Amino acid sequence: MAQIFIFTAGDVSARSHLNDSIKSPVNFSKLEENLDKTFINELLHSVDKDNIFCWGSMPGKNNIRNWGLMKEDDYVICVYSSHYKFISRCTGKIHSHELAKDIWGSVNGKTWEYIYFLSRPLSIDIHLNKIDMGESPIKRFGGFSRISDNRIRDIKDKFLSIDNFILQTFNFNFQKSERRIDLDIFRKNINEQDFFNVKDIQDSRNKILLSICRRQGQGKFRKELLNAYEKKCAITNSSIPETLEAAHIIPYKGSSTNHIQNGILLRADIHTLFDLDLLRIDENYLIHIDKSIEDIEYRKFDGKYLRLPCDEEFIPSKDALKKRFENKI
């Protein structure tokens, strides 16, 4: 069950920090300089590197307890001047004195080191007295706090779910992954030219998105993969040829990337999840399904291993998988 957390920005100095990480995103270089790459890669499954928002709490018994209770997808609301001012949702958290100091500085050697990352905050302006948090409004908040279990139960009784309460009360509809993409935007860029001669596409990520919309023109590459994988999807074992597609590990950047070790034979829907990084494969061929995918038909593959070709010459490149898994493409 989703929880609701409140943080206050009661004084001028605290409010100035809203500009550093709530009203504007944090510069991604600060994360690169202070955090482990593994954590950064996990965080980037939920948010884009240009949309890093966060807040933090200073050390203290209550702050540490509440930070420990916070989970991914919990709601987080900023309060000051007796108004609800911003609403967001937790996308991850980390304890890092170094990152906090880099973002917000420090006071007498202390900083807001119990950090929680957030989806893009929605600006709101609603007086505390206007919102019933359960059976009644909460007229005052102090510091970093959590809405009590009793009030959460009251909210659920009235609205059926916390999500409904948030949507109806704050008009906030959180998308589970800010990395989900409207493919229609990319379809508009497709013309009648050859598939790999796409204009105005700046990076390999966009090439991936275009490939979802049109799969044709990979005849030889696909045929090689069909033979290598015995005409079966490397994940589902599906064997309907019309549904099997040639997936690139490193996106197409010329004929050299049409190498069989840079390819995996995947069923069309699995290929789409792979291209959107909602299904990932690490260098040990272990499959990772994004947390936003709840369908059991896909979740059952999480933690399973890729079925590899019998011929070692056709096995996917570990270096290519590692590079993609670490978001270095």
Under the banding of pLDDT at 50, 70 and 90, the label for residue 210 is low
pLDDT on residue 97? 97
- Where are the domain boundaries for CATH 3.10.590 in the chain? 4-170
Rounded to whole angstroms, how far apart are CA atoms 68 and 85? Answer: 24
Beta bridge partners of 90: 118
Share above pLDDT 70 across residues of the chain, in percent, rounded to a whole number: 84
CATH (residue range 4-170)? 3.10.590
Whether the Cβ atoms of residue 114 and residue 63 lie closer than 8 Å to each other: yes
What DSSP state is assigned to residue 311?
S
Q: Which of 39-48, 73-82, 156-165, 194-203 holds the top average pLDDT?
A: 73-82
CB 117 within 8 A of CB 53: yes
Flag whether pLDDT at 96 surpasses 50.
yes
Q: What would the DSSP string read from start to end of 82-102? A: TEEEEEEEEEEEEE-HHHHHH
Average pLDDT, the chain: 85
Which residues on neighbouring strands pair with residue 184, listed in sequence order?
none
What is the residue whose two structure tokens read 């009644």? Answer: 136
Residue 105 zone, left/alpha/beta (φ > 0; ψ -120 to 50; rest): left
Q: pLDDT per residue over 226-238, tens digit each?
A: 999 999 999 999 9
pLDDT at 48: 84
Beta strand pairing call for 75-80 and 83-95: antiparallel
Q: Given a cut of 60, is residue 65 above it in pLDDT?
A: yes
Q: What does the pLDDT look like over 154-180, one tens digit per residue?
A: 998 888 889 889 988 888 766 554 444
Mean pLDDT of 138-164: 91
